Amino acid sequence: MPIHLKPGREKSLFRRHPWIFSGAIQRVDEEPASGGTVDLLSSKGDFLARAAYSPQSQIRARVWTFDDEPVDVDFLRRKIKSAIHARETWNLKRDTDAFRLIYAESDGLPGLIVDRYDDVLVLQSLTTGSEFWKETIADILLEETGLSTIYERSDADVRELEGLQPITGLLRGSILHSPLTIHEHGLKFTVNLAEGHKTGFYLDQRMNRLRVRELAKDRDVLDCFCYTGGFTVNALAGGAKSVLSVDSSADALELVSGNVASNGLPAERHARLEGDIFQLLRKFRDEGRAFDMVILDPPKFAPTAAQAEKAARGYKDINLLAFKLLRAGGILVTFSCSGGVDAGLFQRIVAASALDAGVDAQIVEHLAQASDHPVALNFPEGAYLKGLVCVKR
């Protein structure tokens, strides 16, 4: 089914960017099915790309292919196989039994996220296109991995923008083994696939957890927004003198203690505190408390650029306070997973925080999402997680 673009609006497709916004569309001759496949044509009628149609979203079409080829089972199988093969060549299984198999646009499959947790696949369908092909995709996934269980976690907020309801539950297989235990860089974590954040665990932080392990030795560590304790467990495993884990969720903190114990790490070096980080950091400052490492891994303050300013104030606040709590030579490991705040802006916010805290600090490392969350060069939006390791002088 053809969709005609306005003159000049084919430019982004020439750069191979996979999104077409509603404002770029001149004419839709016959309304396509939600998630159905459409041909994107230039104003002159030339073929540009084949895409999934999303009638309610501002992003009206997402490109499956820039070639004049059918979008069918064989096409999807090729894409899925290539994403799985890429993970094999990166040797991820050496480090972990939980990793991302398919990362949506970055793997040429808009809206589709598939994570592997041991022998269970967790699928998240975010757009009408991935929804349209979901059953076919599920069959291909089982054939190509040899596994038998797929749990669906299509409960991310962005589905609303596509006019899709949340869906969770077994998509393939009959029993869900959850919570289950995953193994990452020699450490164990309990993951609840049905209720955990995202698809169950923050897989994107894998390498940064390991880095924290390497840097934490003999330090007093404050792990802010600790969730189930990915950084806490790694800091203790790295020989931290003490770790204080803070989160507003009592349930998450309960799981932190479980993860510390199951790894045989010293409970006497670990403490946890339930509360609001914005208030607790102020309280710690007023009490004159000090740490040798502060980790800040807050939730997404700005999903899109529209919320960037408000988000910037949030990041500034916590980073400023964290700088104040650090001893000389102390390390700040600070993250932003907001798509609306890019790496440049994040660095400027952290710089402004140090300035206002009256602190002299250096960036010693730039951190990012792990390699199973690749960023296609034609789709920079795929890069969302950025981190800085700063040393207070």
User: Do 133 and 76 touch, CB atoms closer than 8 A?
Assistant: yes
Sheet (strand 25-28) strand order = 19-21, 59-65, 47-53, 37-41, 2-5, 25-28
202 touches ligand SAH (CB under 6 A):
yes
Q: How far is CA 358 from CA 183, 262, 280, 323, in A?
A: 41, 41, 20, 9
CB of 274 vs ligand SAH, minimal distance in Å: 8
User: Interacting stretch for ligand SAH, rule CB under 6 A, among 10-18, 77-85, 241-249, 383-391?
Assistant: 241-249
Judged by CB under 6 A, the residue of 205, 234, 245, 319 near ligand SAH is 205
Q: Which residues pair with 28 in a beta bridge?
A: 3
d(CA 191, CA 296): 21
Among residues 203, 272, 279, 198, the alpha carbon closest in space to that of 242 is found at 272
CB of 183 vs ligand SAH, minimal distance in Å: 16
Q: Which is nearer to ligand SAH, 64 or 231 (CB)?
A: 231
Helix (H, G, I), strand (E, B) or coil at 4: strand
User: Interacting stretch for ligand SAH, rule CB under 6 A, among 100-108, 234-242, 245-253, 353-361?
Assistant: 245-253
d(CA 265, CA 234): 10
d(CA 88, CA 45): 41
User: Do 324 and 386 touch, CB atoms closer than 8 A?
Assistant: no
Judged by CB under 6 A, the residue of 228, 334, 336, 369 near ligand SAH is 228
Residues 303-332 that bind ligand SAH (CB under 6 A): none
Judged by CB under 6 A, the residue of 107, 162, 247, 372 near ligand SAH is 247
3-state percent breakdown (helix, strand, coil) of the chain, nearest 5: 35, 30, 35
Judged by CB under 6 A, the residue of 35, 230, 382, 387 near ligand SAH is 230
Q: And the tokens for 10? A: 């084919």
d(CA 209, CA 216): 11
226 included as an active-site residue: no
Q: Which is nearer to ligand SAH, 103 or 231 (CB)?
A: 231
User: Interacting stretch for ligand SAH, rule CB under 6 A, among 89-97, 214-222, 248-256, 286-294?
Assistant: 248-256
Q: Which is nearer to ligand SAH, 64 or 227 (CB)?
A: 227
| 272 phi/psi in degrees, rounded to 5 | -135, 155
d(CA 371, CA 187): 19
User: Interacting stretch for ligand SAH, rule CB under 6 A, among 34-42, 156-164, 221-229, 349-357?
Assistant: 221-229
User: Interacting stretch for ligand SAH, rule CB under 6 A, among 121-129, 154-162, 226-234, 355-363?
Assistant: 226-234
Q: Which is nearer to ligand SAH, 51 or 370 (CB)?
A: 370
CB of 204 vs ligand SAH, minimal distance in Å: 9
Of 224, 226, 337, 390, the catalytic one is: 337
Q: How far is CA 323 from CA 308, 350, 357, 362, in A?
A: 22, 10, 7, 12
Q: Which is nearer to ligand SAH, 4 or 373 (CB)?
A: 373
Q: Which is nearer to ligand SAH, 83 or 92 (CB)?
A: 92
Residues 265-304 that bind ligand SAH (CB under 6 A): 276-278, 297, 299
Residues assigned a catalytic role: 337
By CB under 6 A, name the binding residues for ligand SAH.
197, 202, 205, 225-228, 230-231, 247-249, 252, 276-278, 297, 299
